[in-house]
Amino acid sequence: MTRVTLDSICKTYPGGDAPAVDNFSLEIDSGRLVAFLGPSGCGKTTTLKMIAGLIKPSSGHIHFDDEDILPIPAERRGAVMVFQNYLLFPYMSVGANVGFGLKMRGVHKREIQKRVADMLALVKLPDIAKRRPSQLSGGQQQRVALARALITEPRVLLLDEPLSNLDAHLRDEMRELILSIQRELAVTTVFVTHDQEEAVLLADQIALMFDGVLRQFASPAEFYQRPISQRAARFFGGVNFIAGNRHDGAVQTSIGDFQFAPAGKENAPSGQVIMTIRPEQIGLNEAASDNTVAGRIRERIYVGRYTRYKIALGEHEVEAVRSADLPGALEAGDAVQVRFPPERIWVVPA
């Protein structure tokens, strides 16, 4: 297992108006599965390629454990990258593709055959060694590309948008496979995605990037419960934002004063803030009276397992989510008591 440390990494392309990656510092513990998440063009893949050795940083340092790897060429770093488009050799069999890295290292043919068989079994494709890539589905090609990367026993596994070319059913299967293999081999893994749900389902920790800058590095739960900014909250599905002033244990807003008591509140900003709460955490017509304001339902949207409500609260509109199985359906136009649980409210800088 390998610890990966990025120290003030920058990358500016010739002719670029701004750095593609700017002062990126991060430590990834050994054996962890980390997602680089953010919108297109935010520097995720550039950072991944700098770890792999395919792009040289303009400045900064990268260490595997305590070893500075920047002077080491890509083929000797022990960081293997699986690309979005698989890049399998079309004229080779699947077995030859998977064993290619070992062949380049001069491993004996019989040993290569054994390890290829073991690796294809690991990715649940035990009987396809003699096929060509053109005879495989997209999901099978992705598994072969993963087997080809893992057979060399890399120190670090790098995945560039590993699920983006697969349909929904195959994405679920591949996600489970990546998780099971990563846990079994305990290889430090970094993957790039622009899909918030994919990052949450796969990653131990998420590095959220905007405009080439690392904005927040935390567990998936922290992004939902304690986002660092309004932009980060929106990226994780936040829709409720109300301006206010936080002083100690209360947030004063134009629709009322709200008690504020979440875990980690000592690290939350004070003064002028934006109060946010996730739709599924808002209570409707609850018995509790604290942090409750009167509203009126503007719109009801049935989504199968749950129902979304858009609710007018004075000059503001909030969105709440309620299980479709709960009795007492609410309709557009109904008056409703809206509760903001103190432990569920979070604030970000205004």
Is position 300 within any domain?
A: yes
Per-residue pLDDT, 311: 97
Is position 243 within any domain?
A: yes
Per-residue pLDDT, 15: 82
Range of the domain at 134: 4-225
Mean pLDDT of 15-36: 94
> What is the pTM for the complete model shown?
0.90
Query: Which CATH number goes with the domain that contains 69?
Result: 3.40.50.300
Q: How confident is the model at residue 169 (pLDDT cuts 50, 70, 90)?
A: confident
Per-residue pLDDT, 16: 76
160 and 256 housed in the same domain: no
Q: Could you give the number of structural domains in the chain? A: 2
128 and 83 housed in the same domain: yes
Whether the per-residue pLDDT at 163 is higher than 90: the answer is no
Is position 311 within any domain?
A: yes
Q: How confident is the model at residue 209 (pLDDT cuts 50, 70, 90)?
A: very high
Q: How far, in Å, CA of 303 to CA of 307, rounded?
A: 6
89 and 175 housed in the same domain: yes
Is position 231 within any domain?
A: no
- pLDDT, one tens digit per residue, over 82-101 is 988 888 999 999 999 999 98
Q: Would you mind telling me the total number of residues written for the chain in this entry?
A: 350
Q: How far, in Å, CA of 2 to CA of 154, rounded?
A: 10
- pLDDT, one tens digit per residue, over 288-346 is 788 999 999 999 998 888 899 999 998 899 999 988 777 667 899 999 999 999 999 99
Mean pLDDT of the chain: 92
Q: Residue 172 CA to chain centroid, in angstroms? A: 15
- pLDDT, one tens digit per residue, over 276-289 is 999 999 999 988 78
12 and 139 housed in the same domain: yes
Query: Which CATH number goes with the domain that contains 328?
Result: 2.40.50.100
Q: Residue 80 CA to chain centroid, in angstroms? A: 20
Are 244 and 252 in contact, with CB atoms under 8 Å apart?
A: yes
DSSP β-bridge partners for residue 78: none
302 and 198 housed in the same domain: no
DSSP β-bridge partners for residue 217: 207
